[in-house]
């Protein structure tokens, strides 16, 4: 059975996304970063991210969506803003009928690299090696890892 997963590394300044699909092994269909302007009010930035994710949901019609969990942040305001984005993204996935997963950052890192404390460069290197591409940026690499983790979780559930 072919499984399609949209993985998201949530953010309001930079929101990474990736779509993987496959029956026996996942293939990367797309990945990138949604960026918003620092001069925009937060509601406009959230709306921009939501519109782009809605487009991806309509275009790829994923079976599941993974939104990386929020890790402890030193800046409370930033954490609250990212949490607001996460809430909207989870709502969009629920409305679309996706199975929803919220893997913790350490779970994603461990699943993808074997090291729950992997650095951004290590995540990017693994994403580029795993999917044979050199165009993955650091925010997109985290989203690739989320999609990859959720795809394998579903594959093991189906198998």
**Count of residues in the chain:** 159
Helix and strand numbers, DSSP H then E, in the chain: 5, 5
68 carries an active-site annotation: yes
Q: Which of 9, 63, 107, 142 is catalytic?
A: 9
9 carries an active-site annotation: yes
63 carries an active-site annotation: no
Please, what is the Cα angle at 93 between 3 and 51, to 5 degrees? 115
Q: Which of 13, 44, 52, 68 is catalytic?
A: 68
Q: Which of 63, 107, 139, 142 is catalytic?
A: 139
Pairwise CA distance, residues 66 & 85, whole Å: 14
Residue in the structure block whose two tokens are 């925009």:
40
Task: Name residues whose C-beta falls within 8 Å of residue 94's C-beta, 6 or more positions apart in sequence.
Answer: 100
Positions annotated as catalytic residues are 9, 68, 139
């Amino acid at each position: 059975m072919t499984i399609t997963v949209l993985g998201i590394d949530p953010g309001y300044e930079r929101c990474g996304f990736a779509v993987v699909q496959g029956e026996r092994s996942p293939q990367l269909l797309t990945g990138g970063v949604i960026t918003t302007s620092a001069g925009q009010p937060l509601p406009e930035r959230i709306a921009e991210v939501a519109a782009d994710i809605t487009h991806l949901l309509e275009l790829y019609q994923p079976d599941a969506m993974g939104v990386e969990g929020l890790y402890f942040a030193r800046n409370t305001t930033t954490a609250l803003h990212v949490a607001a984005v996460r809430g909207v993204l989870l709502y969009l996935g629920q409305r679309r009928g996706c199975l929803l997963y919220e893997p913790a950052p350490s779970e994603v890192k461990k699943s993808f690299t074997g090291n729950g404390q992997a650095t951004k460069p290590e995540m990017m290197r693994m994403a580029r090696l795993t999917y044979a591409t050199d165009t993955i940026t650091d925010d997109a690499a985290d989203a690739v890892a989320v999609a990859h983790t959720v795809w394998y979780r579903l594959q093991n559930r189906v198998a």
